[in-house]
Each structure stands twice: as structure tokens, then as C-alpha cells.
Amino acid sequence: MSDQPGFGLDDLDRLAERAVDTVLSLVRRGLALGGGVLIIATFCCGGGFLLGLAALSGGVRTVWVVLGGFFLVVGVGSVIVAMWRLRSVGKGTRALVDEVRALIAGDRRTEKVVIETIETSEESKDEGVVALSRQFFELRDTIGDRHDQFRAVASALHAVTTFPALVALSTVVSFAFAGIGLLFLIALAL
């Protein structure tokens, strides 16, 4: 427990609940962003794939089915995985609070990292979800090799910290499909 004067069990509980509330707020924002990215990825990737099927023939079409199909799954699947991970965070809220409390109870450094993460996240509420998720990398690193002891916290932090990369991957693949789809559309119009 903290050696700060006046820092008791109630303060520890409030800090743990505040930390979990911060994560859950970020999760809600991430799910909203992920939903938008999913719609765009489905439209761009699916449309580009279908235009490729219509524009190509023979052996090239077979290659397109394999290659385009792979990237269609990557483009849409990565954002689905990111959203699925975020959704799983909200299911074990009580366990998450208990684990955060246990994590900070005996470790002054971890307590400081949790407080800094909360304060930084609350100060930057106007920033995007991707920028806010970066605040949680140091907190994830404080768990270190104690993943088995803090499963809910480790899972939540993994979901939050991998979200930006998965959404970025989906976005890049979607843009690529949009460009290729435009080329296929031009080929079909000629």
C-alpha cells in the first residue's frame, strides 16, 4: 500500500475504480471508431474484391481470388479482432477492478504509473482513441511477466494497446482496395 499520509483502502478502491472507468471509457470510444472503420473496410475491401472478380479472367482471376481474398480477410478481420478484444474488456469489470487494486496495493511504482495514466487520459479526452491508447503502454509494461496473476488487466491492456495497429492495418488495406477497385472499375468501363 502507498506510504502517502491518508491513503487508505477507500482511496485504493477509488483509484482502482477510476482506472477501470478510464479504460472502459476508452473501450467505448474505440468500439465506436472500430464500427466506422469496419463499415469502410467492408465497403472498400468487399467492393474492390468483387470488382476484381468482374474485371479479371483466367489464371489472373485465380491469383486474384487467393491474393485479394487474403487481403479482404486481413482488412476486415483485423478490425473485427480489435473490436472483439475491446468488447471482452467490459465483461469482467469487477475482476478488472479487483486486479487493478491488487496490482497497485503493494507497489508504489505501479501506483504512480496508474495515477499518471489516469491523469494523462483525463487531460487528453479530446484526443483520438489511438493517441489515448498509447498512454497505456507503460502500464502494460509494469505488469511484466505477471500476466498469469493479473489476467483481466493484462487482457484489457492488450486489447487497448493493440487496437491502433489493428485499425491502422485495416485502414491501409482498405485504401489499397479502394485504389485497386478504382483501376478495376476503369478497366470494366473500357
- pTM exceeds 0.85: no
Q: For 46-50, which contacts have Cβ atoms below 8 Å and span 24 or more sequence positions?
A: 46/72, 46/76, 47/177, 47/181, 48/177, 48/178, 48/180, 48/181, 48/184, 49/177
CA–CA separation, 28 vs 34, rounded Å?
A: 10
**Does residue 7 sit in helix, strand or coil?**
coil
E strand or H helix at 132: helix 129-133
Arithmetic mean of pLDDT, 161-180: 95
The tens digit of pLDDT for each residue in 63-76 reads 999 999 999 999 99
Residue 120 burial (C-beta neighbours within 10 Å; 0-12, 13-18, 19+): middle
The tens digit of pLDDT for each residue in 56-108 reads 999 999 999 999 999 999 999 999 999 999 999 978 788 888 888 887 776 77
CA–CA separation, 83 vs 78, rounded Å?
A: 9
* pLDDT on residue 145: 75
